[in-house]
Structure 1
Amino acid sequence: MNKKVLFRILLALIAYAVFVVLVVMFYKDSPADMKWEDRELYNRQYIAALKIDNFNFEQALTDLGTPDLTEAKKVGIDNYQVLFYRTQHVKSDGITTQEECTPLLFKNDQLIAIGEPAYQVFRELS
């Protein structure tokens, strides 16, 4: 091959590498854009790493996206909201149920409980 062809191939490879690096650095993958299997895995891994009192409602919406189910209530001066994010497949019926989700309980926009105990606490509030 002559130098001109090699130069063009090298130039194309460099352009491709730059494109890949830019996509990886600047493209934000959103849970809403994922297939349901990928989203479940993402939610499961993300929720497993959460720390109580170190995560807020806005972060949940930003990082996990719109919840699959949600409930809220006001008790005295405190606002409680439980967000359900799908983390395990149970039945292929096109409907997401609470048993397929992990609940996150927020009190005044701060995470206070995760998992089934979170929903138990929420139900007992009055």
Structure 2
Amino acid sequence: MFKKVFQYLVLGLGVYALIATLVIIFYKDDPQAMIWQDREAFNKRYIAKLSIEQPADLNGVLDYLGSPDLTYAKRVNNDVWQIIFYRTQHVKSDGITTMDECTGLLFKNGQLVLWGPSAYDRYLQES
């Protein structure tokens, strides 16, 4: 009797471990469905992983992070400059997302060129 219960327990734990592993490996987080605290952390983790050695493109960022909280774009000569902001830190509980609560990602012709506090300053300098 004890042996049979033990076998079922081990089998159940094995199935649970398999399902949990598959979910962790294949489930993609949906930033749009997250509560704001989780989305901030998700955005911050993704932005922290960015590097110049492996440049990101605008569509890849939008696919992964979803719609930005703020966005601005302009054309300078033949170049399109776009800066998108994702909320990464909570400042004030007023229901409005402002630039000081966000991290900017600057794109030139769809390729990431700069991110962080200086991205918006660089965007304004391009004219």
| TM-score strictly above 0.5 | yes
Q: Give TM class, smaller chain.
A: 0.7 to 0.9
Give how far 1:44 is off. 2.0
The answer for the alignment partner of 1:32 in structure 2 is: 32
Give how far 1:49 is off. 2.7
Give how far 1:79 is off. 0.7
CA–CA separation in structure 2 for the residues paired with 1:45 and 1:56: 17
Q: Secondary structure at the match of 2:112?
A: strand
The answer for the alignment partner of 1:71 in structure 2 is: 72
The answer for the alignment partner of 1:9 in structure 2 is: 9
User: Aligned pair in 2 of structure 1 residues 2, 49: CA closer, same or farther (>3 Å)?
Assistant: closer
CA–CA separation in structure 1 for the residues paired with 2:25 and 2:49: 23
Q: Secondary structure at the match of 1:66?
A: coil
Give how far 1:21 is off. 1.4
The answer for the alignment partner of 1:104 in structure 2 is: 105
Moved over 3 A (4+): none
**Deviation by residue 1:7-62 (Cα, 9 ceiling, x = unmatched):** 22222222212211111111112222322122212222322232237121112112
The answer for the alignment partner of 1:116 in structure 2 is: 117
Q: Unaligned regions of 5+ residues in structure 2, if any?
A: none
The answer for the alignment partner of 1:60 in structure 2 is: 61
Report the more deviating stretch, 90-99 or 4-13: 4-13
Percent of pairs with identical residues: 52
Q: Unaligned regions of 5+ residues in structure 1, if any?
A: none
TM-score (norm 2): 0.87
Report the more deviating stretch, 86-95 or 30-39: 30-39
Report the more deviating stretch, 55-64 or 94-103: 55-64
